[in-house]
Structure formats: structure tokens, C-alpha cells
Structure 1
Amino acid sequence: MAQPLVTMAQAGVPQTFNPTETAAPQKKEQETPMTPREFRIYNSMAERMNLFHASFRRTWNLLHGSAVAGAFPPNTTLSSFITLGENFCHHLTFHHTVEERHIFPVLATRMPSFRETEALLEQHRVIHEGLEGLEGFLKGGFGGVLWKHLDEEVVELGAERMRRYWSEEEMAGLPM
């Protein structure tokens, strides 16, 4: 079986530890160099944002890598994998909502790249469309049957039902 991260790297999918060219450090944008203290102050939002984005990259790499490899990560069930995907969609939507309602409007007063007509918000719109499709896939199709099956199977294996059909000695010999 192929290693998901190796396969993804070969396909050109950005990795958490290897940001895209856009996120790579840029050459000097100002004439006057910053002191280390100034750099910490002015770079603080980028550092905090990168913590969130690194988490999204890790989760995306796990989801995408598993899809490319055709296998779940070790010790991962179908249910937990679907939950991971749903949580990814929810958390990224929440993250973008906070950015768009609380952070970007403040930044847009002085920074054109955060205005409604610019690429960052257009990227959010495209990402949101993709998230809706991913959520639909995760919840749709067989999702209803899957959740019903997962719930009903546990009920059927519950103590009251098992005691009705099996002795304690027989329980010890069952294959689970």
C-alpha cells in the first residue's frame, strides 16, 4: 500500500511542514529593517493564524492522503474517519466565519487584500463550496443507512439481548 503523504507530495499537494509559495517568507517589503521586537509584534497575527492553518493542513493531509491511498489511517474506524471529515468542515467554516465577520473588516480598513473584492474572500467562497460538497458526501448517500446501522448494531449487541441468546460461557467463546 502506498504511503499517503509520499503519494500526496509526489502529486504536488502542499504539506503542513512545507507551505505554498504564497506563505513562504517574502523579501523585504519595507526599506527600514525591523528590530526583533518589532518583528514579533508585527508578525504575531501571522503566527497565530498559522497555528490554525497548520491544524487544517494536517487534517486535510490526513483526509486527502487516506483517499489517495484508499485506506484509513492506522487505528481509525469508518465512523471516526467520517467524524474527522465532518469536524474539519465545521471547524474550517467556523474559522472563516470569524475571519470574515470580525478580523477581515478591521484589516480591510487599511489593507486592500482583505476587502470584499479581493482574492482572499473569493478563495473563502470557493473553499466553502467545496466544504458543502464534502459535507454532503460525508452525510449523504449511504450516511443515513450507515448511522442507523452503527446505532442498531450496538443495540443488538447490548447486554439484555445477548443474555437472552447466550450463556456466560458461550459469551467467552464469541469472536469479539
Structure 2
Amino acid sequence: MTNTPHTARSLDDLPDIDALLARSGLEFMQDILAGNISGPPIGATLGFTIATVEQGRVTFAGTPQFAVTNPMRGVHGGWYGAILDSCMACAVMTHVPRGSFYTTLEYKVNLTRAIPLGTDVIAEGLVSHAGRSTAVATGEIRGRDDGRLYASGSTTCMIMVAPGRD
């Protein structure tokens, strides 16, 4: 059983660089899920949260609400991008060794259909390749209850050894 992840409410709540580098990426993600360290506030702001963490696979659960609509009354494309970037990049994080960190180099999102407001979705990120300096992951947003595909995506991330730790 896992605890509800704690969301940082200030920069002081976020883990510092030493806390990040002292763990493998998998341990770091597991500690966020378990509530041992604070997670970033973007999920709370946009209505999604980390749901599962495994080596090479991370899921987020979300429900888009009115605050993320565009002028045409639909879910803004940035919401799709934010939840996909989160699940794909966090899946990459599970492959990052202790003493290293990563950053997203690029990501792509393909919207398949509109997500109706209030629809519970699961965004799943899966690592396709994790090398010494780069990693690639794919992702999908599906309806939690009906499994309908709402969007897919891909990302390339760069993995870097922290200065003085190689």
C-alpha cells in the first residue's frame, strides 16, 4: 500500500539536489509515490497525480476540469502535453542511475480525440530505450473506465552525470 504523494507548496518543500542525486531515479520516483519526499506542484495545479512507478513504466491518473479548457470549451492541448510529458519523462527517470539526472530534449503529442471534461484518464509512460546518455519513451492517455485512446506521444531525454560525481 502506498501513501498519497505530498505536493510541494513552496521551493523549500521540493527535494534539493543532494536528495535527488543520493537516490537512483527509480528510488526517487518510488519515494515521491510513497510520500517520503514532496512531488512537484504541477500535477495538483493541472489535476493529475502519479499513480504507479515501476522500472521503465510510470502512470499518472488525471481528470481534466474547467480550469484547463480552451476558448472552444475543450481540454487545452497543453493539458495533454503536460500529463504525457510527466509520465514519459518520469518513466525515463526510473532508469537514471544514482548521481545522475535527466532533462527532456523534445517531446511530441498526437491528439486522437477530445477528452470530455470530468473524464478520468490514465497516462502511461513506457521506456523504449535507456542508454548511458539518452533515453526514449512513449506514452498514451486512455480513459480509465473505457480504455479509449485520447492521445499518444514520444519523448527523447538526455541523461547526465552530475558534475563531480563521475
- What's the TM-score once normalised by structure 1's chain length? 0.28
Relative contact order (C-alpha < 8 Å, sep 6+): which is higher? 2
- Which one has a larger percent helix, Structure 1 or Structure 2? 1
- What's the TM-score once normalised by structure 2's chain length? 0.29
- Which one has a larger percent strand, Structure 1 or Structure 2? 2
Higher alpha-carbon Rg: 1
